[in-house]
Amino acid sequence: MDAALPEEALRPLRPDLEKKLAWRTFVKSAETIFEMVQATIMLEDMIKIEYLMNGWWYWSSLSAAAKTSVVSSLALCIYSLDAAIAYEKISFNLDD
């Protein structure tokens, strides 16, 4: 998902390459479900709201997210985030 996101989809303070590489390293080294939950929350936070579908709900808190204890729940959250991302910004041309 991260690699498919255009740079303009990322919040202004987040897209610097060093932070992106640090996030990718964190994801690759994650050994627990909780670490992957943290990585998913970080990714959510990097994406501008206009690149997320209207119905997207952020995790209410890290403590609520920490209750995700099985891989299938984490996978569903990641799949839902992926489905909510607009990888191409939709523009409406009113001249047509």
pLDDT in tens, 44-76: 888 888 888 887 777 666 777 778 888 888 898
Tell whether 23 is covered by a domain.
Answer: yes
* 19 lies in some domain: yes
- Is residue 34 in some structural domain? yes
- CA-to-CA dists, residue 23 to 1, 7, 12, 29, 90, angstroms: 13, 15, 16, 10, 27
- Residue 37 domain-assigned (yes or no): yes
Based on the structure, what is the number of domains in the chain?
Answer: 1
Q: Give per-residue pLDDT as tens, 2-27.
A: 888 888 888 876 557 778 888 899 99
pTM of the model: 0.77
Range of the domain at 47: 7-84
Does residue 89 sit within a domain? no
